Structure 1
Amino acid sequence: MDSTHISDDLSEILVTEAQLVAKTAELARQIEADYEGRTPLLVGVLKGAVMVMADLARELRVHVEMDWMAVSSYGAGTKSSGVVRILKDLDSDLHGRDVLIVEDIIDSGLTLSWLRENLESRGAASVEICAMLRKPDAAKVEVDVRYVGFEIPNDFVVGYGLDFAERYRNLRDVAVLATHIYE
């Protein structure tokens, strides 16, 4: 979906499709260099990371394997509590594997911090993180992220896998959702 088709729903475009494509290529070159001679396991976090995972995997010029997890961080209201439930676990054995968690966005960092510890406890040789977007002002815990695409403001954003009520995931850009849509 092109942002011009839903411009009344958006208040600002933060990252364009062209910028996402260029950044994905840049991140892929870094990952290729860092994992030279190894086959990393890309672990996508459903549902938001679908677009990032697909584009990154297609851009990489080395063999990778892919697997998916779905986790839920819940609490009172709409904010992450850091209490995490696994809704869909990995099919892969992580023992001795180089794992690269692929995320769409890092907000508080609570869920991602838990996820990294969980995957490390399964015997992975290494666990690194690649996130297309990060909101530094929303961080509640420090998470070491090896690959970051863009740092963005602490606004409610949609597009490129990010949703509001399961809508807007297929928006090609990353945009701030207009407040009249969710208030």
Structure 2
Amino acid sequence: MSFPELISREKIHSRVQELAKEIERDFAGEEIIVVGVLKGSFIFCADLIREINLPITLDFISVSSYEGTESTGELKINLDIKSKIEGKNVILVEDIIDTGLTISSLITRFKKNNPKSLKVASLLYKPARIQHKVDIDYLAFEIEDHFVIGYGLDFNGSYRELPYVGIYNGEV
């Protein structure tokens, strides 16, 4: 089964390297805690931290707000981070910022723990659907209003393994 390619494996790789260099410049000589938002960001997060030449502590948080192709409008924490972030540099790594609900809720939650800095890195941003405005410090790609799969993004748990970002066309 094949889906229309929106962003190639090569473009993703190149952009991840560029983002890593930006992060290195911004945090030169400092440690960072990278928090991947599961499950969608795991591939982007893994590729990103391998390109960053700084001391990194990796943690994950698992949240859910989607059923099928639609946001439920509610955020559920399935797994919380273990790291203590007070006084630390934290980068939240997200696969896609769509409505903005997930990341804005996480930003509010993390700020309560008084990190030294809190930044957001996202593979994708879909401005056509934004409902909760958020600042994205490290953005790989802005996309049109498509439901996308691949490179960690899924449709009901499937297609995360695709090496590119594709447009889900409803095929099963």
TM category (shorter chain) comes to over 0.9
Q: What is aligned with 1:32? A: 24
* Residue-pair matches, total: 171
In structure 2, relative to structure 1, the CA distance for the partners of 1:168 and 1:28 (3 Å cut) is: same
User: What is the distance in 1 between the residues matched to 2:119 and 2:91?
Assistant: 5
Per the alignment, residue 130 of structure 2 pairs with 139
Q: Secondary structure at the match of 1:18?
A: helix
Determine if the alignment matches structure 1 residue 96 to structure 2 residue 87. Answer: yes
Distance 1:25 1:78 in 2: 31
Q: Give 1:59's aligned residue.
A: 51
Identity rate, percent: 37
Q: State the 4+ residue runs in structure 1 displaced beyond 6 angstroms.
A: none
2:53 partner letter: R
- Extract unaligned runs of 5+ from structure 1: 1-5
- Of the three residues 115, 119, 126, the one matched with 1:128 is 119
- Worse-matched range after superposition: 125-134 or 66-75: 66-75
- Residue matched to 2:153: 162
* 1:82-119 superposed Cα distances (whole Å, 9 cap, x missing partner): x3221100010111011000111110001110101100
Instruction: Work out whether residues 80 and 110 of structure 1, in 8 Å CA contact, stay in contact via their aligned partners in 2.
Output: no
For residue 79 of structure 1, give the secondary structure of its aligned residue in structure 2.
Answer: strand
Asked if residue 153 in structure 1 is aligned to residue 133 in structure 2, the reply is: no
Partner of 2:38: 46
SS at match of 1:175: strand
Q: Which amino acid aligns with 2:146?
A: D
SS at match of 1:153: coil
- Residue matched to 1:3: none
Structure 1 residues 74 and 16, CA gap change in structure 2 (3 angstroms): closer
The answer as to whether partners of 1:80 and 1:108 remain within 8 angstroms in 2 is no
Hey, what's the Cα distance between the residues in 2 that align with 1:84 and 1:31?
28
Larger Rg: 1
Gaps of 5+ in 2: none
Whole-angstrom CA distance in 1 between matches of 2:136 and 2:83: 22
